[in-house]
Chains A and B, each alone.
Chain A
């Protein structure tokens, strides 16, 4: 009963935050509401005892990805009035998307009405079951090749991103940190012994 209540509370916050993401005028508020969305979905995952996925969602998306998002969005200087002008221009497209979503909802309801098998509600897992171990065991045995492949794709993407953005202009006066670190006192400072002058 209690977990059921929690489920509805978290879901309500999740949906409200998701609506807030698309309706709020200020992009920084949108990003923050998206963070709230992620956080609440993590809590929903906790309710079905997927603690590893939940914590990793918070760690990766909330802790790293969204920080970078916020980083970029904070630096935008957005004119709110101009943004509202686009509203009527994109209204037909928005209506189309809304219609598709409504159609999908009806489809889901129809599936339930038709008595087709859906997801069972999750059963409590046995004592001593570790979600982390279970995910690891599957990831490193059955799916080890796809997993490694995904890792390599990510690595290549990362290298490509760095290669695309790294430009060296000539004539820049950037500091070479390793040379700065390698400096010894003898290179920079010369101690001179000066005889005291007497009147």
Chain B
């Protein structure tokens, strides 16, 4: 142990910084990947109970009798990784194998700017919000390429739908973020959280309620989740863009990025509209207690809340028809955001609201 400490102190400062950064990056990545694993389990369990079933309940962790089904995600991952990787005969081989990575990399990179707690954020950059918007808009390439490279009609149709949907919903998402930016006066996610200080009613969901709703709907559409999952649409186009995938590419193309993006959207919605790591009881309960202190726990709870809503929506609503999705994106959500941006401008001008003091 002592030798290790000495070896650590003997390292040049640059190497120490590099090692610490690498370690924290790996820690965040592992956290995200583990959350993804357990989100898949939560999804099957929650939807199961909503439909009066039990969901997966066979595979136990270390044979503990109370936790039936807890090891299901690990069993799934092992199964997927051991399966054969099939490549269709006329497929574009390079792009077919590259597409899953193009989806995966932005989905994990975006976590770099999320502030997890008052002290911890991987990269505290000024243009954090723009960075996230740019990265989430990259993921669509993987989906389009997966559809095109597979040389299958179903996959191609799924890719086209996904592309049109992404372009439509990116806009309303961007406008919702403009509203947050106007309120906080900063693109730095940490500053946005700090600007919302002062209990549950001074968070932006209250003042920017329409934008909050639009953001979450656009987030559901961007992640291709039900009821906006026409890119997969198993009742019409088999499984959409990932019909031809199997094994490990399927796991990295479909399961991992989809759930990582879900958690990311949940984290962003928490940071921008529900005060991130701030406590909802701040100012309402006596200070000095952990319940009023800002901490990672609150962010975690808020992310969990949004994930639950994701699953709840999926269990509740039937799938939208494709033209209805387009109509909702272009003709409903964008006008709503524009009107509320105008209202917010007037509020800022008349100095109404918590941000103009």
Interface residues of A (CB under 8 A from B): 26, 28-29, 32, 35, 51-52, 55-56, 58-59, 62-64, 67-68, 70-71, 74, 130-132, 175, 177
Contact = CB atoms under 8 A, between A and B. Distances in A.
B170 interface: yes
19 contacts: A28-B95, A29-B95, A32-B95, A51-B127, A55-B133, A56-B130, A56-B134, A58-B134, A58-B137, A58-B138, A59-B134, A63-B133, A63-B138, A67-B140, A67-B163, A67-B166, A70-B163, A74-B159, A131-B126
Contacts of A71: 144, 160, 163-164
B134 A63 contact: yes
Q: B interface, how many residues as a size bin?
A: 20 to 34
A63 B126 contact: no
Interface string B121-164: 00001110011011001101100110010000000100110011
Given A28-B148, A51-B125, A74-B144, A177 B137 contact: no
Given A67-B167, A131-B127, A175 B323 contact: yes
Contacts, number: 71
Contacts of A59: 130, 133-134, 137
A131 B187 CA distance: 11
A66 B145 CA distance: 13
Contact of A68 (B148, B167, B187): B167
Nearest to B136: A63
- Between A59, A64, A131, the greatest number of chain B beta carbons within 10 A of the residue's beta carbon is seen for A59
Contact of A177 (B134, B145, B164, B324): B324
A63 B127 contact: no
A74 B125 contact: no
A64 B126 contact: no
Given A67-B166, A177-B327, A74 B141 contact: no
